[in-house]
Structure 1
Amino acid sequence: MNQNNYHERRLLKISVYGALFFALMAIIWGVFENSKIILFDGIYSLISVGLSIISLITASFMKEQDFERFPYGKEMIEPIIILGKFLVITILCLFSFFSGFSTILSGGQDVNATSGVLYSLIATVGCFVVYYFLKRKHNNNHSGLVEAESQQWLMDTYLSLAVLAGFLFSFALGYTKFEFLQPYTDPLMVVIVSGYFLKVPITNMGRQIREVLDMKAENKYFELCQEIVDDIEDKYHFHESFLRVSKSGQKLFIEIDFVVSPDAWQPTLSEQDQIREEIVTKMQPISLKKWLNVAFTNDRKWAV
């Protein structure tokens, strides 16, 4: 196991243990205090445990080479798993939204605001610490699975922060003439938080769908590759060039086709390899694994 795989598995395990702790704490606290929003936080964390375990299993599976069944590598599995994770989170948010709305219509429910403030304060600080740790480590690891985990913890942090604000507001209502509104604050928080958080998984699912469908890679990768191809085309006076770049997980698939005019300089096999080496060297700033294919042709139809 190389260092990157070891660190990836270690970070995913930390995420699993952390999510399990907060899930159990929130579910027990939510049941004891009869709070729908705390229960939502706990169920979200519990689902995160299951999703994190899937990520851990996926990371172990992806590190094993299997050229016969996966000739292009297993990187395509990563966006599929991440897509599934955010789909589950979307379903949870939708379910919680309608559940909270239903509770409001039925007259709300009484919740101990003081206890809620204490819980959400502990949860906010704890979730942010785990998020910050994973995010800092991800910058050195460049794992899509670890990044997805850190995004989940960021959502949990915002959720807990929103819950804290809601409980503080509910606590304050108890000292005003609007005390009768207190039973509505808990389900209202569920509606607001789950509705707002829908955009996070939906946005991330869009990114993963692009990778699963093998669509054009993000501009930051494509533009750098295009700049390199343009430089090579000008340097060797090729007639035309075509660039295709797509991303799957931690691998960047790059295909470059140079159209060489029949009347111009024709690179030999060794010269073609030299150009390929030059391209690879210029692409070193891209930290992702690269599947590079560089072809040369006199006939444009083989490049289009």
Structure 2
Amino acid sequence: MATVLRSYARHSALAKAEWVSWRASSLLSVMVAVGGGIAVALNGSGHPTIASYVDPILVLIACVSVTPMAIGLIREGMRELLEAAPPAPLMHQINGVVEATSRRFELPTPVIRSTKLGQRLYVEGDYLISDHQEFGIDDEDEIRRSITDGLGELGYQVWATVELTTDDRLID
């Protein structure tokens, strides 16, 4: 089941949590089977006292093995709840699309703010333009469409916001 869920886990946080759960359960099952074999072998070889320690040792090993998986899920969930920046590889792709759009429309490098919440990707580009550059609402819409289309292939529902301003205090 973990193998089947792995491909879905790349696109769904729920599938990823389920995949981690199945993976952890599989690991624990293997550990119980190996531990049981070790305990039987120890009992059979005349070491029942040592065999009685197999179970507590397995519990400790299981905790150490499963804890990083759980911490990873909690950390990822907290990043999304706190609206942190997307993971570095995704942020790199966002920056690339926004920079290409900036070059296409001869705009300065914008301040980019982004977050990912589930399947939604929020991207805001704030451009500080000079007083002599003229842009209308149609231009803003075209810039927004360019960013949305460029990020559309990533498989997220992209919510792009574009702000053009001549006041640098509105960008910080």
If the length of structure 2 is used for normalisation, what is the TM-score? 0.89
Return the alpha-carbon distance in structure 2 between the equivalents of residues 187 and 240 of structure 1.
58
Q: Deviations over 1:255-302 (max 9, x none)?
A: 111111113x32222122122212211112221112211111111221
Asked if structure 2 preserves the Cα contact closer than 8 Å seen for 1:239 and 1:261, the reply is no
**What is the letter of the counterpart of residue 300 of structure 1?**
D
Find the residue that maps to 2:107 and give its secondary structure.
coil
- Structure 2 residue aligned with 1:79: none
Q: Deviations over 1:212-250 (max 9, x none)?
A: 111111112211111112122223332341101111122
- Structure 1 residue aligned with 2:130: 261
Higher RCO (CA < 8 A, seq sep 6+): 1
Q: Does residue 1:222 correspond to 2:115, yes or no?
A: no
- Structure 2 residue aligned with 1:146: 15
Q: Deviations over 1:26-62 (max 9, x none)?
A: xxxxxxxxxxxxxxxxxxxxxxxxxxxxxxxxxxxxx
Return the alpha-carbon distance in structure 1 between the equivalents of residues 143 and 79 of structure 2.
30
Find the residue that maps to 2:149 and give its secondary structure.
helix
User: How far did residue 177 of structure 1 move?
Assistant: 4.4
Return the alpha-carbon distance in structure 2 between the equivalents of residues 238 and 171 of structure 1.
72
**What is the letter of the counterpart of residue 301 of structure 1?**
R
**What is the letter of the counterpart of residue 144 of structure 1?**
A
Return the alpha-carbon distance in structure 1 between the equivalents of residues 154 and 51 of structure 2.
53
Q: Aligned match of 1:178 in 47, 50, 62?
A: 47
Find the residue that maps to 1:198 and give its secondary structure.
helix
Asked if structure 1 preserves the Cα contact closer than 8 Å seen for 2:5 and 2:19, the reply is yes
Q: Deviations over 1:164-194 (max 9, x none)?
A: 2211211221333434311221222112212
Q: Deviations over 1:102-140 (max 9, x none)?
A: xxxxxxxxxxxxxxxxxxxxxxxxxxxx2222224445x
RMSD after superposition: 1.8
Asked if structure 2 preserves the Cα contact closer than 8 Å seen for 1:238 and 1:261, the reply is no
Write the mapping of 1:113-192 to structure 2, written as runs, cut at 5 A: 130-138=1-9, 142-192=11-61
Q: Aligned match of 1:282 in 139, 143, 150?
A: 150
Question: Identity of aligned pairs, percent?
Answer: 23
Return the alpha-carbon distance in structure 2 between the equivalents of residues 137 and 213 of structure 1.
24
Note the residue ranges of structure 1 that are not aligned, 5 or more in a row. 1-129
Q: Aligned match of 2:76 in 200, 203, 207?
A: 207
Asked if structure 1 preserves the Cα contact closer than 8 Å seen for 2:105 and 2:143, the reply is no
Return the alpha-carbon distance in structure 2 between the equivalents of residues 288 and 172 of structure 1.
53
Return the alpha-carbon distance in structure 1 between the equivalents of residues 61 and 104 of structure 2.
57
Return the alpha-carbon distance in structure 2 between the equivalents of residues 135 and 224 of structure 1.
23
- Structure 1 residue aligned with 2:170: 302
Return the alpha-carbon distance in structure 2 between the equivalents of residues 272 and 195 of structure 1.
52
